[in-house]
Amino acid sequence: MITGAEAGIPEELRSRVSFMPYDFFTPQPVRGADAYLFRWIFHSRSDEYGVQILRSQIPALKEGARILINEWCLPEPGGVSRWDEGIMR
């Protein structure tokens, strides 16, 4: 999933961003980063697993660190056309 991800990072930020494979259910191996980005991770997991993923970050967090979540927000059922709702769900 990380192959080619660097292409979306502006040149001036590339030295500050790194990508690596990681098992979300184990303790975060990168300690002391300013931010941890989770993109399209939580939408396909139950709340129980989402909580487990977030808890596994705690030992690595320094004061002031951020967890950034980029995720889908589904509309209420019937809030969009049946076609669009079928694609999203």
Active site (catalytic) residues:
43
First-to-last C-alpha distance (Å) of the chain: 21
CA distance 42 to 54: 10
Sign (positive or negative) of CA dihedral 61, 58, 22, 67: negative
Tokens of 43: 């939408």
